[in-house]
Amino acid sequence: MNPTDNAFILVCAALVMFMTPGLALFYGGLVRNKNVLSTIMHSFMMLGLVSVLWAVVGYSLSFGTDIGGFIGGFDFAFLNGVGMGVEGSPAGNLPHLTFMIFQCMFAVITPALISGAFAERMKFSGFMIFSAAWLLLVYAPMCHWVWGGGWMGEMGALDFAGGAVVHMSSGAAALACAILLGKRKGYGREPFIPHNLPMTILGAGILWFGWFGFNAGSALAADGLAANAFVTTHMATAAAVLSWIIAEWVHGGKATTLGAASGAVAGLVAITPAAGFVTPMAAIIIGLIAGVLCFGGIMLKNKFGYDDALDVVGIHGLGGTFGALATGVFASIGAEGLLMGNAHQLWVQFVSVVATWVFCFVMTVVIFKVVDALVGMRPSEEDEVRGLDVTQHSETGYQL
């Protein structure tokens, strides 16, 4: 065990944990004030629900002994054999518990990301059951495929910190949920104006901060690779902030604070799969493209007519997909991409993108249909109009 690496990864785990309340604020500010608490709850509750599920069985399904390249076994269920030493740890320099809790924080934020798609119109009971099922049936296999010794990692797909596992998977799930759940009442007729943008900006800032743990920590050591991932993360994000607001400007509007915050998240998402494989200069190019691309991505929902309330598909789905492909183009550290003359890498990335989208979309549809039949996913029209805070949680965010 390497004490330096251990200290670093434990701190990174705490940083990643902080992203989830950051996401709660990011999303919370974007909804109308009658739904601020329910939206915050969608993220915050994952800290409770997913953490326990992860310890009971989620970690084992992701990192237990490989079964056919598809899923992990039950050997680490109830954290059996996950101890203070390095025995059984997928990272030989880290105590098994350290590796487990770092991965736990990734599992927590992923279902929380989806919640942006069904914000303002999801029953809390349906949400809880859906999220638990999604974690075990979609996240755990995805995590196993890419990082746990499954087929996608074996194929050579590069995903440094979760472009496929976290962002594409949540983006694909978001698309399925938005389509199945239908539009919010009044969508397209009434204005849906964010009720507290300063809250959203603060949330974006916390996400940016926590993302250093997410990406640099994914080096799984306090080394130069971690430093590279830290720098690429920052540079891509900064570049995406610039390119998003420039796109807004050119598109005929004004530079908005929401645009700057959205650009930051787009850049963070896009660099996630690439962070340890590309140089800082390549990261800036990735960020510049991601900002413009995701600005276009959020327009897609108007074109296709689904109500992805907080643009999870446009930012995480599209940004994650672009990041995965960009990794296949720009990889030059520890792997070779298209620009290094290795076109095969881009093909492998493409296969991983298609497989991730199809698997996550189809599984989400199945889970959604089952939970909808069991407890119902959408509140009554009257409850939705009154707001989810008072109807789902018996409280209101603001007393005025």
Partner 1 sequence: MKKIEIVTRTFKLDDVKHALSELGVTGMTVSEVKGFGRQGGHREVYRGAEYQVDFVPKVKIEVVVEDERVPELVREAKDAAFTGNVGDGKIFVSPVDEVVRIRTGETGDEAI
Which residues of this protein are in contact with partner 1, per CB under 8 A?
Answer: 191-194, 248, 251, 253-254, 256, 258-259, 262, 295, 298-299, 302, 311
Rounded to the nearest whole angstrom, what is the least distance from the CB of residue 201 to partner 1 in the complex? 13
213 — alpha (psi -120 to 50), left (phi > 0) or beta?
alpha
Closest-CA residue to 37 (of 390, 399, 318): 390
Beta carbon nearer to partner 1, 156 or 194: 194
Cβ-Cβ contacts under 8 Å for 264 (sequence gap 6 or more):
204, 207, 208, 237, 240, 241
Beta carbon nearer to partner 1, 33 or 256: 256
Beta carbon nearer to partner 1, 258 or 390: 258
Beta carbon nearer to partner 1, 68 or 191: 191
Q: How far apart are CA 138 and CA 133, in angstroms?
A: 8
Beta carbon nearer to partner 1, 248 or 384: 248
CB 297 within 8 A of CB 252: no
Q: How far apart are CA 174 and CA 23, in angstroms?
A: 15
Biggest CA-to-CA distance, the chain: 62
Rounded to the nearest whole angstrom, what is the least distance from the CB of residue 221 to partner 1 in the complex? 38
- What is residue 307's DSSP assignment? -
Rounded to the nearest whole angstrom, what is the least distance from the CB of residue 112 to partner 1 in the complex? 20
Beta carbon nearer to partner 1, 159 or 307: 307
Rounded to the nearest whole angstrom, what is the least distance from the CB of residue 309 to partner 1 in the complex? 11
Q: How far apart are CA 219 and CA 246, in angstroms?
A: 33
CB 121 within 8 A of CB 378: yes
Pairing of strands 66-67, 71-72: antiparallel
Beta carbon nearer to partner 1, 246 or 258: 258
**Dihedral pair phi/psi, residue 31, rounded to 5°:** -95, 180
Rounded to the nearest whole angstrom, what is the least distance from the CB of residue 386 to partner 1 in the complex? 21
CB 164 within 8 A of CB 354: no
Beta carbon nearer to partner 1, 50 or 247: 247
Beta carbon nearer to partner 1, 74 or 192: 192
CB 316 within 8 A of CB 167: yes
Q: How far apart are CA 268 and CA 273, in angstroms?
A: 10
Report CA 262 to chain centroid distance, whole Å. Answer: 14
Rounded to the nearest whole angstrom, what is the least distance from the CB of residue 251 to partner 1 in the complex? 7
Rounded to the nearest whole angstrom, what is the least distance from the CB of residue 194 to partner 1 in the complex? 6
Sign for the CA dihedral angle at 252, 254, 255, 258 comes to negative
Closest-CA residue to 126 (of 378, 310, 312): 378
Beta carbon nearer to partner 1, 251 or 344: 251
Amino acid, single-letter form, for residue 262: S
CB 369 within 8 A of CB 377: no
Closest-CA residue to 135 (of 27, 72, 57): 57
